[in-house]
Structure 1
Amino acid sequence: MKSTTIAAISTPFGNGGIGIIRLSGNRSVHIATSLFQRTHKHEKSEVTRQEELFVSHRFYHGKILDPDTREIIDEVMAVAMLEPRSYTREDVVEIHSHSGPVVLGKIYEKVLDAGAVIAEPGEFTKRAFLNGRIDLTQAEAVVDIINAKTGTALKIANRQLAGELTEKVVSIRKALLDIHALLEATIDFSDDVQDDIQNESMLGQLEQGVLQKIEQLLSDYEQDHFYRDGVKMAVIGRPNVGKSSLMNRLIQRDRAIVTAVPGTTRDVIEETLHIKGLPVVIMDTAGLHEAQGEVEKIGIKKTRQTIKDADIILLMVDNSEPLHPEDFTIYREIAEKKHIIVQNKNDLPSGNDCLNLSGTSQPHLCLKISALTGTHIEELKEMIWKVISGEIGIDRKVGIVPNLRHKRALEKCLVSCRRAGHAMIKTMPEEMVAMDIMEAIDRLDSLLGDHYRPDVLDQIFSRFCIGK
């Protein structure tokens, strides 16, 4: 790692007050000093050696000069954070210049000419992980902070960055190591150990110190991952009932193409709407009917997959027409999921009643709207909120929320632990139980990043922006 010095523009492109170029690696200070001329109040304070230019964690005012022409590129502030007291545990330098595509681009070009290489997305945080400053869950929390769409999502990410999830996982791992040590002792000193007492003790530790804690983390994921990932809401129905018009109305801009021709939407279109601070991912889908062509069949196949993935369904029917047999077919497909029936085109004379579709005595699950005029759109948002908040228990305290990668690792760990517990109950050989316990420990190690595959790391850090 330290043989290469990376650099990136860490602030968004565009005009602004401050732009930041960040460097990390053993040549960061050398590269910065080759471009940076420090401002001095008195001649006798002139710095003569590069290593004297930067005191760690202190800002210096000066200018960036073109090393070839000595022309001033910009007036800047520069700061060095020397290893190990830096974000990456390498020498890090930040150059704070005026923000604009030309000036930032010019400084960045000179930094690269001086020997730095272009940083990959998330490479600074990846180095922080590989150099042992943070574990993998904390690295993921960084991107969650950047992408947080709500205050609650930000709190969850900050708690994860502070190491709360790590503490819980390490606690579970320690309990598993204790059980494994007992198993090893039983194997080595079998004549001195009463099997029934030992098994009972290990089963108690496994239940209280491991299984209950993993199950709680998985429960937290199921109930609270909405805050991080958003609630997935699919808008479905026959072609030309107004699904795309509703999406455009909800997000208040023309995102989906709307025409009088049925079947305009061929792919799933996603946008995020915030309802009372909770991100709701709206998925506009292709109309469900008997497909005529190959492209339409693909669109309908994607719609059905979207229905499976959705947390809540908006089933839209045309209020101006009698209910169509396909409306009933679609309803049967989604009846078991959380859903709201939306009767669109309320600005036209009514031709049906949604209660005839659902056969329900719950009229609060049906609403007449007009996506064209905006009638009852606010009422629809309130109805969506009630269904969502009832599903996730919006008023309760949010716990530590694993992400999907953590969830899968915890589920695999849980399987291994339950298999070990079953083996203890059946008084199977301790060697077999120990193998299951070690497998569970390995699952937790992969969660924390103690054991990792390069492709998994690449996938995680590809979510980051350049310069972080």
Structure 2
Amino acid sequence: MYADTISAIATPLGEGGIGIVRISGPDADQIASRIFRRGRSLRPVDVAQLESHRLYYGYVVDPRDERVVDEVLLARMAAPRSYTREDVVEISCHGGPLVVREVLRLTLAAGARQAEPGEFTLRAFLNGRIDLAQAEAVMAVVSARTPDSLDLAVGELRGRMVGRLGPAREALIEALAYLDASADFPEDEVPPLDLTGTLARAEAALDEVVAGARLGLLYREGVQIAIVGRPNVGKSSLLNTLLRAERAIVTDIAGTTRDVIAESINLQGIPATLIDTAGIADTEDIIERMGIDRSRRALDTAGLAIFVLDGSMPPTPDDFRVAELLQRRVASDGHDRLVLVLNKRDLPDRHDHDEIRALLPGAPVVEVSTRTGEGIAQLEATLAEALIARAAEGAAPALVTLRQQQALTRALESIRQARAALDAEIPLDLVAVDVRDALLAVGEITGEQVSETILDEIFARFCIGK
């Protein structure tokens, strides 16, 4: 437990229905008692005597002159049944920025210290209420962009990551115990262990977490999807249809879109940014060529491309030009980064696009009508399936931060080095060095092995008051 008491505004600044000032530490009750009053007579209250986890109606006053600052609700949460496992008091006042700051000022004047970014969650970790992976999941909950990403973040908040790392950690501990015993007591009989198999189990468990991390990253960070094609095939109409809003200008004039338009959607739980690009064609128009150049750059950075064709007419030279551009992308990244869309399904005259499909073998094809909405649900499902198939490789999603990803990579590298050393019949005490490094890397994720520098780096990204 800390010796000092901290205070901060726990709600976003700005006008709102409610604002909360949070106090945590050994003097939380005494500090709240100095500024909290009850009843018409503004009688003083010993907050330490109030029942824990109940709301109490009253007033915040400036103790210098008993001036009423606001009408509030006060909640006392006695240790260890609080967010930080310390005594916590939360004061809910009206949500105007001035009144919230004034309540905070009074708590600081009464003896609290201004909390640092993320310090409440840091105290929760250091006091043993949550592990480090759960602490990092707090930010994932706050920044979740879709219900699915929120579900994943809440799962991590409840300790899912430590559970998934459990089999690898247990295997590494078992292997290290055997290696240390073999080195310390070479003349004694050490119970046999299939060391290669044990390390293989640890590697497989971590590989599964890494595979799930790619899918988790997709749900947390989202993906850019570029809508490409020649002019006037319905790219902007498709954008509007997927958005369920008239975002892009749609006309019968080819080349209406001359710049990149980006809009966010929830694609079956995946946060996605749709990028409507200028039609790619052979043109002498300087402005249109600038738009096409931007389209090519957007395509290069997108995680997935939608190639739109006019299904009511045969492919044109410009269609083949776009297809050849995408062919190079497919050759380097695979067909799972491309979906072909044949638009204008509502028109009676349909044309075969087998030549285009032959240029892009394996890419899924969906027929849609942006006018009637036919095929749009199938397109959304196809896009989501393509993204998930590329990211997941059959693993369950796991929300992993960049720091955790780096630790996982180090752990896997150390395990593979240990297995290679075993195959090369290198002395076991040297094998133990790699196994110990792997176990330390896993401990960095859970917080069992973590430096003060890493903690500072993690919690500095939190907002003040969390």
TM class by shorter-chain length?
0.7 to 0.9
Q: CA deviation at 1:413?
A: 1.2
Q: Output the CA distance in 2 between the equivalents of 1:352 and 1:121.
A: 60
What residue is the counterpart of 1:386 in the other structure?
Answer: 382
User: Which of 404, 411, 430 matches 2:409?
Assistant: 411
Supply the AA of the counterpart residue of 2:199.
L
User: Which of 92, 105, 113 matches 2:88?
Assistant: 92
Q: Output the CA distance in 1 between the equivalents of 2:456 and 2:250.
A: 39
Q: CA deviation at 1:62?
A: 1.1
Q: CA deviation at 1:417?
A: 0.9
Q: Output the CA distance in 1 between the equivalents of 2:361 and 2:416.
A: 43
What residue is the counterpart of 1:314 in the other structure?
Answer: 306
- Where 2:120 maps in the other structure, the secondary structure is helix
What residue is the counterpart of 2:433 in the other structure?
Answer: 435
What residue is the counterpart of 1:38 in the other structure?
Answer: 38
Q: Does 1:212 align with 2:208?
A: no
- Where 2:208 maps in the other structure, the secondary structure is helix
Supply the AA of the counterpart residue of 1:19.
G
What residue is the counterpart of 1:10 in the other structure?
Answer: 11
Q: Output the CA distance in 1 between the equivalents of 2:197 and 2:426.
A: 17
User: Which of 329, 332, 341 matches 2:324?
Assistant: 329
- Aligned in 2, Cα 1:378/1:94: closer, same or farther, shift over 3 Å? farther
- 1:235-254, aligned counterparts within 5 Å? 235-237=227-229, 243=235, 246-253=238-245
1:308-328 residue CA offsets vs partner (Å, 9 max, x unmatched): xx1x32123467782415312
Q: Output the CA distance in 2 between the equivalents of 1:4 and 1:243.
A: 57
Structure 2 contact 36–44 (Cα < 8 Å) conserved: no
Q: Output the CA distance in 1 between the equivalents of 2:256 and 2:435.
A: 57
Q: Output the CA distance in 1 between the equivalents of 2:65 and 2:247.
A: 49
- Aligned in 2, Cα 1:7/1:151: closer, same or farther, shift over 3 Å? same
Q: CA deviation at 1:400?
A: 6.4
Q: Does 1:28 align with 2:28?
A: yes
Q: Output the CA distance in 1 between the equivalents of 2:25 and 2:281.
A: 58
- Aligned in 2, Cα 1:185/1:251: closer, same or farther, shift over 3 Å? same
- Aligned in 2, Cα 1:397/1:239: closer, same or farther, shift over 3 Å? closer
Q: Output the CA distance in 1 between the equivalents of 2:232 and 2:426.
A: 63
Supply the AA of the counterpart residue of 2:259.
T
What residue is the counterpart of 1:340 in the other structure?
Answer: 339
Provide structure 2 residue ranges, at least 5 long, that are not aligned to the other structure. Answer: none
Structure 2 contact 335–363 (Cα < 8 Å) conserved: no
- Aligned in 2, Cα 1:352/1:178: closer, same or farther, shift over 3 Å? same
In angstroms, what is the RMSD of aligned CA positions?
4.3
- Aligned in 2, Cα 1:420/1:282: closer, same or farther, shift over 3 Å? same
What residue is the counterpart of 2:183 in the other structure?
Answer: 187
Q: Output the CA distance in 1 between the equivalents of 2:184 and 2:235.
A: 68
- 1:74-93, aligned counterparts within 5 Å? 74-93=70-89
Structure 1 contact 239–286 (Cα < 8 Å) conserved: no
Q: CA deviation at 1:179?
A: 1.4
What residue is the counterpart of 2:266 in the other structure?
Answer: 273
Structure 2 contact 55–74 (Cα < 8 Å) conserved: yes
Q: Output the CA distance in 2 between the equivalents of 1:413 and 1:429.
A: 20
Q: Output the CA distance in 2 between the equivalents of 1:9 and 1:427.
A: 57
Q: How many residues align?
A: 448
1:81-132 residue CA offsets vs partner (Å, 9 max, x unmatched): 2444321233321012344455435434544554555545533223322333
Q: CA deviation at 1:64?
A: 1.4
Q: Does 1:128 align with 2:124?
A: yes
Provide structure 1 residue ranges, at least 5 long, that are not aligned to the other structure. Answer: none
Supply the AA of the counterpart residue of 1:419.
Q
Q: Output the CA distance in 1 between the equivalents of 2:424 and 2:361.
A: 51
Q: Output the CA distance in 1 between the equivalents of 2:246 and 2:13.
A: 26
- Aligned in 2, Cα 1:255/1:57: closer, same or farther, shift over 3 Å? same
Structure 2 contact 31–107 (Cα < 8 Å) conserved: yes
- Aligned in 2, Cα 1:26/1:386: closer, same or farther, shift over 3 Å? same
Q: CA deviation at 1:445?
A: 1.5
Supply the AA of the counterpart residue of 2:4.
S
What residue is the counterpart of 2:357 in the other structure?
Answer: 358
Q: CA deviation at 1:147?
A: 3.9
Structure 1 contact 355–363 (Cα < 8 Å) conserved: no
- Aligned in 2, Cα 1:398/1:412: closer, same or farther, shift over 3 Å? closer
Structure 2 contact 115–465 (Cα < 8 Å) conserved: yes
TM-score computed with the length of structure 1 as normaliser: 0.77
Supply the AA of the counterpart residue of 1:71.
R
Q: CA deviation at 1:386?
A: 3.3
- Where 2:194 maps in the other structure, the secondary structure is helix
